[in-house]
Amino acid sequence: MTVLGFKLLKVKGHSMFPKIPQNSYVLVNQWLNLWRIKPDQTILIKHQTLGLIIKTVALIDRYGFIWSKGENPSSLTVERIGPVDKHQIIGKVLMIIKQ
């Protein structure tokens, strides 16, 4: 559901546990022009092969590509997720509503 640039999503999977447990909800701010992407922020990405994923920004390389990671040791590695362009970022997670 999206209202006024905010999106509410239910989280499926364990890749962000313990920060975001499975079946929690996240509130995402889609107004990208209001904030700068920085390491350690939690973001919603439209990944080319993985679909919609929530990850933590690991680093931004010198070319402006964003490398992200899951919070769980069993999550995909930064290298397996690969770099994404800023245009693939849908928004920043503002709030986590844990179940």
Q: How confident is the model at residue 32 (pLDDT cuts 50, 70, 90)?
A: low
- Report the range of poorest mean pLDDT among 17-26, 31-40, 59-68: 31-40
pLDDT tens string 54-97:
999 999 999 999 999 999 999 999 999 999 999 999 999 999 99
Burial readout 8-25 (b: 16 or more C-beta within 10 A, e: otherwise): ebebeeebbbebbeeebe
- Percent of the chain past pLDDT 90, that is, above it, reads 87
**What pLDDT was estimated at residue 95?**
96
Is the pLDDT confidence value at 5 over 90?
no
**What pLDDT was estimated at residue 34?**
63
- Percent of the chain past pLDDT 70, that is, above it, reads 96
**What pLDDT was estimated at residue 99?**
78
Distance CA 75, CA 90 (A): 21
Residue keyed to tokens 């040791």: 73
